[in-house]
């Protein structure tokens, strides 16, 4: 990534996140958001994280080169789901994912 | 705090893989300061997504911050504007979780919450810095480092409330991403899939409310 691309992405992403982080706090001052807004904002995490997971795990034609190499991430994902549900910890989920992935790649 | 280090180092390794140096990673961690966002950027960049698509997708995923900000508004009503601003600007998924719980218990204030945020931000920035140095020093396979991010997204997904609307949103979003990739739209796939998930789930909620009203009458 060039410096130019770096600045565009850094500034672009930083401005939008800063607005999302600070604007509601100053605009609301104790008032509530309308119900439809709360509802749709509440749905974003589930939809966004599902989209991110799907983007990482699934691709058309992923099994064309045989079942095993393509199945590794899916298998690791199952382990991570179990650990995430049990511990609810980002740390343990990340450690499990990386460790199990490394072990399965070695086999 | 330990969580930030464990996630920050793989994030730094990924940033190194797209040619960012330690200073750039540090700057990004301080100014932008978004775990999910900073993982998405190298991931989408490696996948060859255009700049506009990266910024739009990352920004969309970060709109969830508005919920946190709205939640803290009543607690910040009586503090100075500057303090409120610095606090609001440094809230993340994790520190929201910590501070929201403490505000519920009482005995908590914006300036103490800000201290938590600053500690978290420092450990995040520092571990990203170290991650870049590690990444450039030793060749850690990229797909393994990238899976740290996938694991985090899986954890964030499965710890969402298991409501029917959330399930609809998640399933539609996943199918949406796959369909986008099928038709060759892999760049904006995350954004299109996630928006489709939210829209379909909103329609689902509206229909459900209507049905509930009808059966109540």
Q: What is the DSSP string of chain A?
A: --HHHHHHHHHHHHHHHHHHHHHHHHHHTTPPPPHHHHHHHHHHHHHHHHHHHHHHH--TTTTTT-HHHHHHHHHHHHHHHHHHHHH--HHHHHHHHHHHHHHHHH-
Asked if the model's pLDDT at residue A33 lies above 80, the reply is no
pLDDT at position B182:
92
Contact (CB, 8 A) for B125 and B26: yes
Enumerate the residues of chain A whose CB falls inside 8 A of the CB of residue B28.
Answer: 10
Query: What residue ranges do the domains of chain B occupy?
Result: 2-159, 161-217
Query: What residue ranges do the domains of chain A occupy?
Result: 1-31, 44-106
Nearest to B17 by CA among B112, B165, B110, B148: B148
> Under 8 Å CB-to-CB from A2, ≥6 apart: which residues?
none
Taking an 8 Å cut-off on Cβ atoms, the answer to whether A56 and B146 are in contact is yes
Local confidence pLDDT in tens for the 217 residues of chain B:
667 887 888 889 889 988 888 989 998 899 999 888 898 898 888 878 888 888 988 888 888 788 788 778 878 888 888 888 899 899 987 777 778 778 878 888 888 899 889 998 999 999 999 999 988 888 777 778 888 888 988 998 998 888 999 999 999 999 999 999 999 887 778 888 988 999 999 999 999 999 988 887 7
Distance from CA of B217 to the nearest CA of A (A): 23
pLDDT at position B1:
62
Contact (CB, 8 A) for A51 and B93: no
pLDDT at position A30:
60
Q: From the CB of residue B79, how many other CB atoms can be counted at a distance below 10 Å?
A: 15
Asked if the model's pLDDT at residue A13 lies above 80, the reply is yes
Q: From the CB of residue B24, how many other CB atoms can be counted at a distance below 10 Å?
A: 21
Taking an 8 Å cut-off on Cβ atoms, the answer to whether A13 and B41 are in contact is yes
CA B159 centroid distance within chain:
14
ipTM of the complex: 0.85
pTM (2 d.p.): 0.79
pLDDT at position B196:
94
* Tokens representing residue B42 in the block: 């190298």
Taking only the tens place, the pLDDT of each residue in B85-140 is 899 899 987 777 778 778 878 888 888 899 889 998 999 999 999 999 988 888 77
Taking an 8 Å cut-off on Cβ atoms, the answer to whether A43 and B149 are in contact is no
pLDDT at position B99:
81
Taking an 8 Å cut-off on Cβ atoms, the answer to whether B64 and A45 are in contact is yes
Of A14, A55, A80, the CB nearest to B151: A80
pLDDT at position B34:
87
Enumerate the residues of chain B whose CB falls inside 8 A of the CB of residue A82.
Answer: none
């Amino acid at each position: 990534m060039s410096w130019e691309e770096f600045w565009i992405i850094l500034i672009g992403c930083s401005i939008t996140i800063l607005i999302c982080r600070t604007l509601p706090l100053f605009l609301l001052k104790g008032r509530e958001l309308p119900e439809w807004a709360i509802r749709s904002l509440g749905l974003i995490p589930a939809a966004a994280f599902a989209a991110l997971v799907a983007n990482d795990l699934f691709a058309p034609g992923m099994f064309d080169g045989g079942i095993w190499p393509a199945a590794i991430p899916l298998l690791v994902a199952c382990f991570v789901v179990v650990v995430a549900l049990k511990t609810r910890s980002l740390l343990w989920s990340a450690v499990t994912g990386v460790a199990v992935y490394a072990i399965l790649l070695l086999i | 705090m330990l969580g930030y280090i464990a996630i920050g180092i793989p994030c730094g390794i990924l940033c190194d893989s797209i040619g960012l140096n330690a200073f750039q990673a540090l700057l990004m961690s301080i100014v932008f300061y978004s775990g999910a966002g900073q993982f998405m950027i190298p991931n989408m960049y490696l996948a060859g997504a255009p700049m506009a698509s990266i910024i739009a997708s990352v920004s969309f995923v970060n709109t969830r911050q508005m919920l946190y900000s709205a939640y803290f508004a009543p607690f910040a009503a009586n503090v100075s504007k500057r303090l409120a601003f610095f606090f609001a600007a440094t809230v993340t998924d994790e520190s929201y979780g910590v501070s929201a719980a403490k505000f519920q218990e009482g005995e908590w204030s914006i300036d103490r919450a800000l201290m938590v945020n600053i500690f978290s931000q420092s450990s995040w920035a520092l571990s990203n810095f170290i991650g870049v140095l590690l990444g450039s020093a030793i060749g850690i396979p990229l797909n393994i480092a990238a899976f740290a991010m996938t694991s985090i997204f899986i954890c964030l997904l499965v710890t969402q409330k298991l409501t029917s609307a959330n399930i609809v949103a998640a399933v539609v979003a996943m199918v949406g991403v796959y369909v986008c990739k099928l038709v060759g739209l892999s760049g904006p796939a995350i954004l299109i899939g996630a928006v489709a998930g939210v829209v379909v789930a909103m329609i689902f909620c509206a229909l459900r409310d209507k049905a509930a009203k009808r059966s109540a009458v």
